[in-house]
Amino acid sequence: MTLMQRRSLLLGAGALGLGACSSTAMAPPPPTLVRPSLPPMRLSSDRIVRITVCSRPFRPAGPRIEVETVGDKRVVHNYGHGGSGWSLSWGSAELARDLALSGGVRDVAVIGCGAIGMTAATLLQRAGATVTVYASERLPHARSARATGLWTPDSRIADPDRVDPAFPAQWEQMARASWAMHQTYVGQPAEPVAFLDRYGVGGVRAPDPETGFQPQPAAPPVEVRFAGYGSRLAGLTPRSRLLAPDQHDFDAERVRLAPEMQFNIAELSRRLIADFQADGGRIETRTFHAPSELATLRQPVIVNCTGYGARALFGDDSLVPVRGQMAWLPPQPEVRYGFYGNGVSVMSRPDGLGVQRIAGDMFGYGVDDETADVLEAEDAILRAAAVFAA
């Protein structure tokens, strides 16, 4: 390159630099949001492989986390989390752990082997206690294994008119502690906890005469409201954003998108039990029919994590079942998203594509029948399929 050529190049670069700083320079164009190419979900009722049904233990006053003396035993109750068992598990386990160990005892029994029981047992063990879990069923067969597996910390958690004034702050403490602990499982092998894109779909444009949908179930004749404390977690979880029509594949008027925490319940359950046992924890098969039977345990402190089972075991008639059903289709590993809208919620987990009918907050309230409803499952799948553009 000649001297003249070099001078010309430098002058050109200087001109570009001055132009970039000039007040008359054009602003750069906004980034173009590319429409994602979503792998199609294979939504057809002839692909159902199982239907799971579970009774969520709703308690109007909120979860029971307190101490009771039963005979010569100190019982710490930790149950009644509604549809938020997995979501609040670690936070409520912290509260139960502190109550259990406050008297200096280090030999503790935990009743229940679901999400609440295993997280409580784990934190007790990490605090130096010797822990034995007693349960009639253990994960993956406990009721917790039938949960949806989404981060829903205020799903049917309480009635705001019946809770103690201090409960909302306690709920926030549990939710934040659980959120932080669940984060430690993100990115680990087999993804016990992961973040997947979740779309909120509103105004589905499916023509009514062609849907064949089942009618909306009637709400039960009760006066109850479910608490909603999500605003207390502002800034903790990712925010959703409204998508333009050319940025999604749904046949709907409004679509919002946000990444959402999701639990791979099969793997998370396996990890909880394996880690607990690896650190010396023991699990024994045992069924309790009355509080008096707790006297047969050697441990002076017992943490009761029996969920809806506490209604019969401890006579807690305040527990109300809220029935939930999921229809499961074969897994689609390529589907890394979920959605809710048109009266259904759909999620993709390693163990299957789950489709659930969500006909309002009161759907399933007071229903303790855990018989699978095939018509409900087929209707949910039909509604889910109608959400996508042809």
Q: Residue 324 and residue 360: Cα distance in Å, rounded?
A: 12
Q: pLDDT grade, residue 352 (50/70/90)? A: very high
Tokens 């630099």, located at residue: 17
Residue 256 is predicted with a pLDDT of 96
**352 phi-psi bin (left φ>0, alpha ψ -120 to 50, beta other):** left
Per residue in 102-128, pLDDT (tens digit) is 989 999 999 999 999 999 999 999 999
Per residue in 242-290, pLDDT (tens digit) is 999 989 989 889 999 999 999 999 999 999 999 999 999 999 999 999 9
Opening angle at CA 258, ends 255 and 259, nearest 5: 140
The residue ranges of every structural domain in the chain are 45-385
Q: Residue 160 and residue 94: Cα distance in Å, rounded?
A: 23
Per residue in 202-239, pLDDT (tens digit) is 988 655 545 577 777 766 666 788 999 999 999 999 99
Residue 378 is predicted with a pLDDT of 95
Q: With 0-12 CB in 10 A as exposed, 13-18 as middle and 19+ as buried, what is 58?
A: buried
**282 phi-psi bin (left φ>0, alpha ψ -120 to 50, beta other):** beta
Residue 22 is predicted with a pLDDT of 36
Token pair of 15 as six digits: 């001109």
Residue 169 is predicted with a pLDDT of 97
- The alpha carbon torsion through 109, 114, 119, 120 (nearest 10 deg) reads -30
